[in-house]
Structure 1
Amino acid sequence: MNDTFLKACRGEKTDYTPIWMMRQAGRYLPEYQKVRGNVTFLELCKSPELCVEVTLQPIDILNMDAAILFSDILILMEAMGAPLDFHEGKGPVFAKTYRDQESIDSLALPDPDEETGFVMETIRLLRKELKVPLIGFAGAPFTCLTYLVEGGSSKVFWDTKKMMYTQPHLFHLLMEKITAATTIYLQAQAKAGAQALQLFDSWAGILAPCDYEKFVFPYVQRILESLRLFEIPLIYFANNGATLLEYSARSGADVVGLDWRINIRDAIYKVGKKAVQGNIDPFALLLPKDELKQRIGKLLDDARDAHGHIFNLGHGIHQFTPPEQAKYAVEFVHELSGR
């Protein structure tokens, strides 16, 4: 097995910088679109054989150094009892919101093998196929909470912050419930064979650092601490989180995910002896070939003092990105870092 990714997570010497991309199994690939054309998004997420197929696509086509389980962070919320649907152009939508005691009490603590057994089966099948490490994942509690409280995506997060400031007891009750479910869900992924785990906090960056510390950070720490017994790399990614790096470094993660809003050299200084993952703007993949190579070379140079570096985008690859541009990026990272 190519274990370069795992070595980089642990801060060990590697022959080159490993690369994978968030949302690397997705809509920008024609091969994915062909599979997706026959099923709904949720049907795809719940079909282990199809999930295996689309998870393998960027490994086979683009030569990525790690695979990430094909799923969605909100699958667990549905398993907790929140009716979920995905609408084209609108994203995830919950049929009801969870803003009071009764609705929060209605959410269950699901058995991950029973309620999300299709995820665990996908992991087991992938481990038989893959020649690179497999990353499992979940949404961080705060990010998942925003979807339950808002009923879907949001731009201003009015109801989330209103609950946080005016009904903190309800906010913490919901965070506690999501944290408990996320903990056993990720533990089940590790038992099924995931070789690294990533916690996605997509909306952490909407918070002031003081609010993050009070309302979010303890739950992140609790989850990551619970996963230590598996002795696999743990990654924490707080999107738009340049102001939260000191917390990310103390979260218990082995690898700190970075978006593109901070120079990677400055981020490395702030996180200390932690590996880093990121941090190129996903839209930089649209640069002309020579400029893309130059951009990647500069990022690799800026990251040379990192305890460990996994090349990645600062967020998911955009659906309209030409696949050949992603392939160039992989080739350039391998070429330039291997010199």
Structure 2
Amino acid sequence: MTELKNDRFLRALLRQPVDKTPVWMMRQAGRYLPEYKATRQQAGNFMDLCRNTELACEVTLQPLERFELDAAILFSDILTIPDAMGLGLYFEAGEGPRFKKTVRTAAEVEALPIPDVETDLDYVMNAVRMIRQELNGRVPLIGFSGSPWTLATYMIEGQGSREYRHAKGLLYGQPEVMHQLLDKLAQTVTAYLNAQIRAGAQAVQIFDSWGGALSTPAYLEFSLKYMQQIVDGLIREQDGRRVPVILFTKGGGQWLEAMAATGADALGLDWTTEMSDARARVGHQVALQGNMDPSALFGSPASIRQEVQRILTSYGPGTGHVFNLGHGINQFADPEHARVLIDAVHELSLPLHQGS
């Protein structure tokens, strides 16, 4: 295997010494980059772009050509799994993802197939293999999936939602049916992430985008329980190296202790949880990733540097911090402001790692 030239990201996830704080951005390959927009137009539509191995590889690498990032993240979508289950994923311009079919009854959950990820989602593994080859050891590659709860909300609602009326209706009205759906999804996500790891992903992240919409008892029973099931079933070592697992529940700052107890290597934080507080609570168990408000990139370069410094200081000296935004980069963000962020992290974090 090609030797990894920059393993700062993997080392920080395992709380090993690093020379500076590593940084990457959720949705770093995406609509804020003019080159991404051009490639997407060439592909025809979003899903055609995901399914085209060469173009998916191209857009994964685009932000690395611009910025000194410490990791690449596979270009794909969290909803590839429901699509492989036959729900018919499509994207309306300006409206986000939609499904042609929903899953709302016991019979529909029962009939839902568990896909063969190696064949039904082979385009994802093909992209992972090509990206690893093209990266040639430059930085590690992150694979990912949506969490079972987050995937279930889209499958039940048929699109994004603010109220989760149908999903929560099923959760409270027929919890046994919801558990059956979540178990099928957890089995599939585990197989999907393991296939990505076998294809070459060197770390994986589980995106629990909508876990924060749940009450504490519901989160523990219907979201975290199934992420725990996935963590327990993942390949944790490949090519002689540990494959770190990152859990990210948006709006989940109140549950950090329970999340850390899953055995994940790192927790992603959104901007509503203070880094110093999170480190005091769970930093002895896990690495922390985050957590700049993406809207901070709409400020001036000076204010961006100031916010980077504030977050780095809040975490404090030593390893175990991967700098990131607290959610995906906004499509209207100025790429040059993203550069300011990335360069500031590397420059301003140097004193925090002296002697480590």
Normalising by structure 2, report the TM-score: 0.93
Match of 1:157 in 2: 164
Could you say what the CA RMSD is over the residues aligned between the two structures, in angstroms? 1.1
1-structure distance, mates of 2:14, 2:190: 22
Report the CA distance between 1:73 and its aligned residue: 0.3
1-structure distance, mates of 2:102, 2:34: 35
Match of 1:327 in 2: 339
1-structure distance, mates of 2:318, 2:280: 8
Tell me whether 1:24 sits opposite 2:28 in the alignment. Answer: yes
Tell me whether 1:34 sits opposite 2:29 in the alignment. Answer: no
| Seq. identity, % | 46
Match of 2:81 in 1: 76
* Among 273, 276, 281, the residue aligned to 1:270: 281
2-structure distance, mates of 1:249, 1:97: 33
Report the CA distance between 1:338 and its aligned residue: 1.8
Structure 1 residue runs without a partner (length 5+): none
Kindly provide the amino acid, as one letter, of the partner of residue 174 in structure 1.
L
Q: Deviations over 1:276-335 (max 9, x none)?
A: 000010000111111111110111111125650000000000000010000111110111
* Among 246, 249, 258, the residue aligned to 2:257: 246
Tell me whether 1:221 sits opposite 2:232 in the alignment. Answer: no
Report the CA distance between 1:228 and its aligned residue: 4.5
Tell me whether 1:109 sits opposite 2:114 in the alignment. Answer: yes
Report the CA distance between 1:106 and its aligned residue: 2.5
Kindly provide the amino acid, as one letter, of the partner of residue 163 in structure 1.
L
Q: Deviations over 1:73-123 (max 9, x none)?
A: 001111112111111111111112101122112221111111111110111
Q: After TM superposition, what 4+ stretches of structure 1 lie above 4 angstroms from structure 2?
A: none
Tell me whether 1:138 sits opposite 2:128 in the alignment. Answer: no
Tell me whether 1:336 sits opposite 2:340 in the alignment. Answer: no
Query: Contact conserved, 2:197 with 2:235, CA < 8 A, in 1?
Result: no
Tell me whether 1:286 sits opposite 2:298 in the alignment. Answer: yes
Tell me whether 1:124 sits opposite 2:129 in the alignment. Answer: yes
2-structure distance, mates of 1:183, 1:146: 18
Query: Contact conserved, 1:16 with 1:337, CA < 8 A, in 2?
Result: yes
Q: Is the deviation greater in 308-317 or in 264-273?
A: 264-273
Normalising by structure 1, report the TM-score: 0.98
Q: Is the deviation greater in 225-234 or in 123-132?
A: 225-234
1-structure distance, mates of 2:267, 2:8: 17
Match of 2:178 in 1: 171
Kindly provide the amino acid, as one letter, of the partner of residue 107 in structure 1.
L
The DSSP-based 3-state class of the residue aligned with 1:96 is coil
Match of 2:354 in 1: none
Query: Contact conserved, 2:92 with 2:98, CA < 8 A, in 1?
Result: yes
2-structure distance, mates of 1:234, 1:331: 26
Query: Contact conserved, 1:82 with 1:107, CA < 8 A, in 2?
Result: no
Structure 2 residue runs without a partner (length 5+): 352-356
Report the CA distance between 1:218 and its aligned residue: 1.5
Match of 2:202 in 1: 195
The DSSP-based 3-state class of the residue aligned with 2:163 is coil
Report the CA distance between 1:244 and its aligned residue: 1.8
Query: Contact conserved, 2:249 with 2:269, CA < 8 A, in 1?
Result: yes
Query: Contact conserved, 2:17 with 2:318, CA < 8 A, in 1?
Result: no
2-structure distance, mates of 1:307, 1:164: 40
Report the CA distance between 1:229 and its aligned residue: 3.9
Query: Contact conserved, 2:283 with 2:320, CA < 8 A, in 1?
Result: no
Query: Contact conserved, 2:32 with 2:335, CA < 8 A, in 1?
Result: yes
Query: Contact conserved, 2:53 with 2:126, CA < 8 A, in 1?
Result: yes
Tell me whether 1:4 sits opposite 2:8 in the alignment. Answer: yes
1-structure distance, mates of 2:304, 2:182: 41
2-structure distance, mates of 1:109, 1:140: 15
2-structure distance, mates of 1:2, 1:71: 23
Q: Is the deviation greater in 254-263 or in 97-106?
A: 97-106
* Among 205, 210, 219, the residue aligned to 2:217: 210
* Among 100, 120, 124, the residue aligned to 2:105: 100
Query: Contact conserved, 1:85 with 1:93, CA < 8 A, in 2?
Result: yes
How many residue pairs match? The answer is 339
Q: Is the deviation greater in 202-211 or in 298-307?
A: 298-307
